[in-house]
Structure 1
Amino acid sequence: MTQKKTGIPLEGFAEFSRKAAAEGAVLLQNEGMVLPVKPGERVSIFGRIQKNYYRSGTGSGGSVNVAYTTNLLDGMRSKKDIIVNEELAAVYEKWLIDNPFDNGGGVWAGEPWNQKEMPISEEIAGAARKQSDKAIIVIGRTAGEDKDNDDTPGSCRLTEEEQAMIKAVTGYFEETAVVLNVSNIIDMSWLDSAEYKYPIKSVIYSWQGGMEGGNAIADVLAGEVTPSGKLTDTIAYSIQDYPSTKNYGGEDKNLYQEDIYVGYRYFETFCPEKVHFEFGYGISYTDFSSTVLKAEKVRENGGDYFVFQVKVKNEGGTYSGKEVVEVYYEAPQGKLGRPVRALGAFGKTALLKPGKEEVLIIKMPAAAMAAYDDSGVTGNPYSYVLEAGEYRLYVGSSIKKASLVKIDGKESSQVEKLTVIEKLQQAMAPTEDFTRLKPGKKKENGSYEITYENVPKLAYSIEERIKNNLPEDIEDTGNVKYLQDKKHLQNEKYSRDMKQPQDKGYLLKDVAEKKVTMEEFISQLSNEDLAALVRGEGMCHPSVTPGTASAFGGVTDRLLSFGIPLACTSDGPSGIRMDGGYKATQVPIGTLLAATWNPELVEELYTLEGKELLSNSIDMLLGPGLNIRRSPQNGRNFEYFSEDPLITGKFASAVVKGIMKGGSNATLKHFACNNQEKFRAKVDAVVSERALREIYLKGFEIAVKEGGANGVMTSYNPVNGHWAASNYDLTTTILREEWGFQGIVMTDWWAIMNDVVSGGAADRKNTHFMVRAQNDLYMVVSNFGAEVNAYRDLTEEALKEGTLTRGELQRCAKNICEFLLKSPSFKREESFSEEAVFVEPGNFDREAGNILEGEDTFVPVHKTPQSVIEVKEAGFFRLMVKIRSFGDELAQTSCSLLLNDTQVATIQIGGTDGHWIKQKLVKVELKEGMYSVELKDVKQGLEIEWVEFKRIS
């Protein structure tokens, strides 16, 4: 398929991402104003990461092919008024030639957390001091999909080499700043080590800023941008201090015993003394004052709101800057138990010049302070309630720097009697006994003793809930053919007549033009059509944008004939992943974006992302990721926003709204509790309903209700015994019925499902349980595998046996088609047919040998990476490959297939455990002549034995 704009990054997008990357830098310490480096100052830069800049974490969330990557050293060199120590830079650049970047051999999840560091001798450090007044040390870390962080040197802690480097540098430099080019918060205990002759004066988290991140942090270090980022996680003194640590990393299950007390909710409630740098903290090159001019409770649109007028003034005399104002609330402990503080709202100023001020208006709904009663202890089971008592509000620049604010002149806002905010029903409750944290006796410092209580368990029948909410079959009013299946008719559980409808010639565009209803259109589809429609195909489908994650919708000729387009998804969230070399813009990681505390900026950034998706004919970005950063050990934290659900929801909403403004769609992932990467495909998240609703699902809820999200991806893992991909209460009861979600839900790639009622063992064949849960799409079967049921799923068999109704399958089909009607694919002509890739013949020396005839030819490529075939008669050919990989089934590897130096297909596969399989590729149109066949960028662990040219016309 020809895509005129495929692989051409959107003009101006990378440059704008530089602005966002700079705004998310978090300055934690800056004694004596070591930063910024001022005009005329000389600086020595240490650490190989000054050149080997990490632009993102690893795995699907970081796999963006970019035209270039900036780095910190070159970014600083571009500042004409700053003198970089080029002698030291030359030493590093020479050393890097002999010590290249280690990518782990290109194997999935093989890249190490850190890179070998150049030793810094006394001679090197001393010579640098003679050249420079200041030192900058750059330290880097990465992690990602299938690769958690670890509480060891080289991951969360510094290596001996890095510690020695810092000791050597601080032995000579009185003024040292450390830049952390990391995907996640790391242990900071080294910061105040007594081994340093001169203390480290400054430390800044630059995070990973995408392809322009090197330039962005240079902008900050040089003072062209004043840092205004704030932490969206708590940095404790040790990873062992986090309440999740003792229950992290299990293979079979993970008890969420800390319950709602995640991150700052735990530390501020139980042990504030264990906090090194608090949530919401970050300093600037200038000073701000904040004055609450007015704080009142008002009634608007049937609800109560707290409204704050806060005057922020730049009190400095040199640097312009932005400041964040954070609002926290303290609820009475009541019967439920509450955190000492919780974030309720926030706002950020525009850029304020020295002496200038701005009045921020910040609104917070009173209902945001409600807690969920999952036990009935308040007398209102399964409800959000405000218990009676005093609710206090605090305003400031971090959770520890927030001061009590009087509301309408009073010390607190009084709730006279318990108020029910929202009455729901029990959903997703655990089925096993365990205990959870609860505040006990209040201590003198305002924190609480730790106590435990039993977690409420499941008290309803999922089977009855499903049975009572079964959708009616959409009847075909024309002639129908009844299948006489006695076994089915005898089934007592979900007896339905199996009907094969008549094709009436209705097209999906007839629905768009209101000529027929969606129900009338869906009624035409046979059981086979419906079963194929809920199967997505991929990765790197030849009929959609090359190198992308999946194709769904018109995956068979029959479905295409009904006018159902073939839509396309791409991995994200920090840019478009197109395996095979096509270029895109890579933006900063989620950690950095949330650290801006500026959702408006992020929405603007992702509007450009939406435009780039549209130009590449991509209908959905598989992002944002919005799992809660429960633990610093989660390797995929870089894709996510925060330990706090409000921050998470607000920034996910910004991403969703931006992408939609740009013309494409976003996918919220991973729904839910994908909070560790090790054993991510099977570890059961055992968690209370209260923690789910208040913490782990809340960000998704905000993104649906405020962001208008119309795409969700379920996670690999089970939650309380039910795999997310077949979890009825997750995808139907909560997502659709309670939140009003309208869109499609898809599985993660090659997910497994278990019985929607009884749980138990899981298998990827269990798509009937997926459909029953109203998870619409199975992602993914092999390319061209939907029609032939390549994974031998049980959907059609369940229809015959009566364990799945036709109405349930039609419900998923309706969700998919409703989405497709509004997707970019519906406006693209190529979405309704498979186009052949045309390649011109080339000139080759016949005497060179190895010329094969291109008529059903098997071209061996396992030993000879380039061969030449001769086509004696022009025509259309289907390309096939024989391929294998030695990784596990969730590993991903790829290469490009070129004919005459033209990329015609991306060959991609998950792990096959060394078994050879055949894979169908693109259709090509070839003239009479000769063509070179070449594989490019073959990743380690991938083997291809031959490429077949099979004539089809």
Structure 2
Amino acid sequence: MTTNPATESGDRSHVRPPVESVAQISALLLDTDPTLDPELARTARQAAAEGAVLLRNDGTLPLGIERPVAVFGRVQIDWFAVGYGSGGDVKVPYVWNLLAGLRDAGVRVDEEVAELYTAWAADNRPSYEGTWGQWPHHFPEMLLDPAVVTAAATRAETAVVVIGRAAGEARESVLEPGSFYLTDDERMLLDRVTTAFARTVVILDAGNVMDLSWLGDYGDRIGAVLYAWQGGMEGARAVAAVLAGEIAPSGKLTDTIAHTYADYPSATNFGGADFNVYAEDVFVGYRYFETFAQDRVQFPFGFGLGYASFDVTVVEATTDAADAASARVTVTVDVRNTDAVHSGKETVQVYLAAPDGRLGKPARALAAFAKTGLLAPGETERLTLQFRLADLASYDDSGVTGHRSAFVLEPGEYAILVGTDVRSASLALTVPVDELRVVRQVAEAAAAQTPFARMTLARDDSGAAVVAWEDAPQATVDRRERILSGLPDAIAFTGDQGISLDAVAAGRATLDAFIAQLTPEELALLARGDVTMHSPLGAPGNAGVLGGVSPELRAKGVPPITTTDGPSGLRLSAYASLLPSGTALASTWNPALVRELAALHGQEMLRKGSDVLLSPGMNIHRDPLCGRNFEYFSEDPLVTGRFGAAIVQGVQSAGVSACPKHFAANNQETNRTRNDSRVSERALREIYLRGFELCVAEAQPRTIMTSYNQINGVWAHYHHDLVTTILRGEWGYTGCVITDWWMEDADDPDFPDLTDNAYRVRAQVDVLMPGGVKTADGPQAYADDTILQSLARADGLTIGELQRGARNVLGLALALAPVLADRAGA
């Protein structure tokens, strides 16, 4: 342990929390011990550095430590370390700012300009307003006398201009100056600095993609651009290390940056108050741009520069089976650092270009990726990348191929392309598929309930891809019949036999025997949390507690299970580490590093009293304005799934649980609890559910959280098709599913005797969190009785359903048993 790694340089100007009072219910700081694990801080710094993406460099970077540098922009001091809301409100003992980080890295900062900004920032502290969802997207810039800039240019040849943005939970980015666009004052600052200085570097400290079209206005007057995704407590220090040349930049974009907002395929269908039509269908992000609009891309998906240059050579590309349905593609690549001076890391990306077929396919889809270690000048590393052709099969939700509700490989030539971003990837292998192959037959689930037109692919007379439109297939399944056919048998009630859950954990009794003892009242208690956030049964400041929420359950050995936010750190009434945002982590393209960071975070959970981390955030970056994009990983489902799995594997290696969220299609914050995501079944399965599916398959998370929104007219916490048919039935998930905090009232349209929590339990969403009822007057600190009421009705819940949910909750308790026993013993 260390007292505070931020103070090692002796500069304490950055030792303060970045955000105050922004949580759903802000927790008071009770444990004032600021000690953090230095290895966790070191790994967080490395991840933040590797996640920074160098978009442009004419040789201006690295800065080195010999030449003086003038730093402009208040964000050098008022650094945005994280986005807003429950995913960022960590009580962190320190946050590095860029000015302190540059000094720590040995960069010769122009002190006259630095002192000017330091004094002004001290007198003009940023206001966070303290009102939920009203936090500032940016901080007003200091109006700079042109003479100050001119004078600074006589002392330093290089200027660094820092621009910052933030958004968050319940706080979208907006198409206004100071959010998606530059402000007039920022433009003026850039104008003056780029005119006076021979070399200018722009640092973008943000959690979301913002408009970068203005870069074209400055041309070579801006020599370098670094997109520094919000990197947590060590983020600014990491950026400083990259600028100084201490750490080589190696980040790659996980989103496409288009020339204008209107270029994004979601632009006309984002932000609706009541619903959003996912009209772009599977053509999300680069899948759209590489198919239809290559000329509208400013920076392509997967792009990122380093200080070193690399030669990527495909040594071999092969398939191992004649049957396309089981064929595994293997690509062996040599990566050589051709630079004479700089070391660095490079990421190799493999894409699949599938034939159009009857379904219409995106021009390219990411199939695999791998990152080298740190390569010295002249050093070579061999990478082997593999994937199954079937993993990128297309889903037929209309029956146009003759196989409705199936993942298929249509006949034709499948091109395997290799490169360092989606645009540069070139042909390495062609795999022929002679006839249509059904890869996986499933059942229709979560299909559209409301007619809409979706994007598809056509060809003009020249063979060029053009956007076409077709009706999205509508749902045909009889939901009532599906549910009734899958109702579980009940375990015969035995009454209390003196069997404790500890006996089940020790193998002295079966879980069925334990469940058989539970009364309906006890089963209903297992189906909700301890009513409120900050439960007295868990660590102070917790998000909520589930499991042993009553004396009766605790007497039977069911422990209270403590949940905490969130993706960027533990939100408790105690100091904790503030980690890089989800986008920063994914931009490393280094799952092994992220897994290492998550494992250290899991150890911090043990020390702080957290059992379930409400993380990772796994929703797709459908649109650049979504406020919580900083918590999520990418516009691509493979990147999302791989990094979600890395976090789950890391956290759960410590014996605690991770909880991927928000399942599913939670892609905007505007009216998020009432909004309906109207999306085709194909797009759901290929894009919005795919990351979750990969995470479940690779990491077996013990908990999953549903989203607030509706999916095709059904709230996620009532969605039997999503949770039971797909998640549990198709994917084989056996863990515990919880709601996001509180839920919406509703009656089951197919079972009139089911309402609210009873409706939820039938969907196999196991636990209402934090457990209280949400009313028109806001969340209330009591539980409803719809579960018990429904048991007496003809179409109501069955004891078997309640027991099934209890099994999922108790399975989580048993998985956490060693951790909970150690905590109880301590």
Give 1:39 deviation, angstroms.
3.0
Larger radius of gyration, structure 1 or 2?
1
Residue of structure 2 in register with 1:124 after alignment? 148
CA distance in 2, matches of 1:753, 1:723: 10
Distance apart, 1:243 and its partner CA: 1.1
Q: Structure 2 matches for 1:868-879, cutoff 5 A?
A: none
Distance change (3 Å), C-alpha of 1:334 and 1:278: same
How many residues matched? 790
Contact 1:768 1:794 in 2 (8 A): yes
Q: 1:805 aligns with which of 788, 795, 798?
A: 798
Q: Compared with structure 1, are the counterparts of its residues 715 and 831 closer, same or farther at alpha carbon in structure 2 (3 Å cutoff)?
A: farther
Alignment of 1:263-282 (within 5 A): 263-282=285-304
Please report how far the alpha carbon of residue 758 of structure 1 lies from its aligned counterpart in structure 2 after TM superposition. Answer: 4.5
Q: Provide closer, same or farther for how the CA distance between residues 712 and 277 of structure 1 changes in structure 2, counting only shifts above 3 A.
A: same
In the TM superposition, residue 593 of structure 1 has moved relative to its aligned partner by 0.5
Give the SS at the match of 2:417: strand
One-letter amino acid of the structure 1 residue matched with residue 289 of structure 2: F
Instruction: Determine the structure 1 residue equivalent to 2:109.
Output: 84
**What is the deviation of 1:96?**
1.1
Q: 2:333, 2:461 → 1: CA distance?
A: 32
User: Could you say which residue in structure 2 is the equivalent of 1:482?
Assistant: none
1:508 aligns with 2:501: yes
Within the candidate set 609, 617, 621, 2:609 is matched to: 617
Residue equivalent to 1:55: 81
Q: Which runs of no fewer than 5 residues in structure 1 stay unpaired?
A: 479-501, 836-953
Of residues 233, 238, 260 in structure 2, which corresponds to 1:216? Answer: 238
What is the RMSD of the two structures over their aligned residues, measured on CA atoms? 2.2
Consecutive unaligned residues of structure 2, counting only runs of 5 or more, are: 1-29, 774-779
* Secondary structure of 1:670 counterpart: coil
Instruction: Give the Cα separation in 2 of the matches to 1:100 and 1:4.
Output: 26
Paired with 2:543 and 2:697, the residues of 1 have a C-alpha distance of 27
* Equivalent AA in structure 1 for residue 39 of structure 2: G
2:529 matches 1:539: no
Report the 3-state secondary structure (helix = DSSP H, G, I; strand = E; otherwise coil) of the residue aligned with 1:193: helix
Match of 1:466 among 435, 459, 483: 483
In 1, Cα distance between equivalents of 2:751 and 2:389: 38
Aligned-pair CA distance for 1:575: 0.8
Instruction: Kindly provide the amino acid, as one letter, of the partner of residue 513 in structure 2.
Output: E
Could you give the per-residue CA deviations for residues 916-949 of structure 1, whole angstroms, max 9, x where no partner exists?
Answer: xxxxxxxxxxxxxxxxxxxxxxxxxxxxxxxxxx
Shift of 1:38: 2.1
Deviation at 1:331, TM superposition (A): 0.5
Aligned equivalents of 1:39, 1:517: Cα separation in 2: 65
Q: Which residue of 2 aligns with 1:889?
A: none
**For the Cα contact (< 8 Å) 1:606–1:662, is it kept in 2?**
no
- Does structure 1 residue 24 correspond to structure 2 residue 51? yes
- One of 659, 680, 683 as aligned partner of 1:691: 683
Paired residue for 1:814?
807
Residue 262 in 1 paired to residue 284 in 2? yes
2:565 aligns to what? 571
CA distance in 2, matches of 1:613, 1:757: 41
**Residue equivalent to 1:936:** none
Partner of 2:441: 423
State the Cα deviation string for residues 790-842 of structure 1 (Å, max 9, x = none). 2324111111224111110111011100110111576337669xx9xxxxxxx
Q: Is the 8 A contact 1:554 1:565 kept in 2?
A: yes
1:79: Cα distance to partner? Answer: 2.7
Matches within 5 A, 1:741-890: 741-758=733-750, 766-782=756-772, 790-802=782-794, 803-824=796-817, 827-828=820-821
- 2:431 is matched with 413
CA separation in 2, counterparts of 1:452 and 1:24?
A: 37
- State the Cα deviation string for residues 509-531 of structure 1 (Å, max 9, x = none): 12122322211111111111111
1:462 Cα deviation from its structure 2 partner: 0.7
Aligned to 2:137: 113
TM-fit CA distance, 1:375: 0.8
Say whether the 8 Å CA contact 2:772–2:781 is kept in structure 1: no
Q: Helix, strand or coil for the counterpart of 1:90?
A: helix
Provide the secondary structure at the position in 1 that maps to 2:661. strand
Hey, what does 2:336 align to over in structure 1?
Answer: 313
- Cα displacement (A) at 1:442: 4.6
After TM superposition, the structure 1 = structure 2 runs for residues 440-589 of structure 1, keeping only pairs within 5 Å, are 440-442=458-460, 447-476=464-493, 478=494, 502-537=495-530, 538-578=532-572, 580=573, 582-589=574-581
The DSSP-based 3-state class of the residue aligned with 2:483 is: helix
- CA offsets per residue over residues 204-240 of structure 1, 9 Å max, x none? 1111111011110000000011110000000001111
Inter-partner Cα distance in structure 2 for 1:380 and 1:10: 54
Q: Is the 8 A contact 1:5 1:616 kept in 2?
A: no
Q: 2:178 aligned with 1:186, yes or no?
A: no
Q: 5 Å matches for 1:206-245?
A: 206-245=228-267
C-alpha spacing 1:447/1:662, structure 2 compared with 1 (3 Å): farther
Residue in 1 that maps onto 2:25: none
Which residue does the alignment assign to 2:21? none
Partner Cα separation in structure 1 for residue 595 and residue 749 of structure 2 = 40
How far apart, in 2, do the equivalents of 1:443 and 1:201 lie? 42
- Equivalent position of 1:923 in the other structure: none
After superposition, the C-alpha distances for 1:614-638 in whole angstroms (9 at most, x for unaligned) are 1122111000000000000100000
Q: Equivalents in 2 of 1:548, 1:239: separation in Å? A: 38
Q: 1:667: which partner in 2?
A: 659
Task: Give the drift of 1:469.
Answer: 0.4
CA distance in 2, matches of 1:830, 1:260: 46
Distance 1:669 1:505 in 2: 37
SS at match of 2:600: helix
Match of 2:196 among 165, 169, 172: 172
- Which structure is higher in helix share? 2
User: How big is the shift at 1:646?
Assistant: 0.3
Aligned to 2:65: 39
CA distance in 2, matches of 1:19, 1:662: 21
- The 8 Å contact of residues 546 and 562 in structure 2, kept in 1 or not, is answered as yes
Offset, 1:140: 0.4
How far apart, in 2, do the equivalents of 1:337 and 1:350 lie? 38
- Write the distance in 2 (CA, Å) between the matches of 1:228 and 1:145: 29
Equivalent-residue separation in structure 2 for 1:442 and 1:543 (angstroms): 65
Asked if 1 retains the 8 angstrom alpha-carbon contact of 2:66 and 2:108, the reply is yes
Alignment match, 2:639: 647
Q: Does 1:253 align with 2:275?
A: yes
Go from structure 1 to structure 2 and tell me whether the alpha carbon gap of 1:149 and 1:447 turns closer, same or farther (over 3 Å shift): farther
Q: Does 1:144 align with 2:168?
A: yes
Give the drift of 1:303. Answer: 3.0
> Would you say the 8 A contact 2:48–2:580 is kept in 1?
yes
SS at match of 1:781: coil
The letter of the residue matching 1:96 is A
SS of the equivalent of 2:226 reads strand
Q: What TM-score do the two structures reach when normalised by structure 1?
A: 0.81
Cα distance in 1 between the residues matched to 2:122 and 2:490: 67
Q: 1:661: how far off?
A: 1.0
Q: Write 1 or 2 for the structure with the bigger share of strand.
A: 1
Task: Kindly provide the amino acid, as one letter, of the partner of residue 539 in structure 1.
Answer: M
Distance (Å, rounded) in 2 between the aligned partners of 1:155 and 1:789:
37
1:94 to 102, 119, 126: 119
2:717–2:739 CA contact under 8 A, matched in 1: yes
CA contact (8 A) 1:567 1:831 kept: no
Over the matched positions of the two proteins, sequence identity in percent amounts to: 44
Note if contact 2:662-2:706 (Cα within 8 Å) is conserved in structure 1. yes
CA contact (8 A) 1:144 1:635 kept: yes
Distance, in Å, in 2 between the alignment partners of 1:300 and 1:653 is 30
Aligned-residue offset at 1:612? 0.6
Judging changes above 3 Å, is the alpha-carbon distance between structure 1 residues 289 and 776 closer, same or farther for their aligned structure 2 residues? same
Partner Cα separation in structure 2 for residue 173 and residue 824 of structure 1? 62
Residue identity matched to 2:70? S
Counterpart AA for 2:551: D
Distance 1:404 1:264 in 2: 18
TM-score normalized with structure 2 length = 0.93
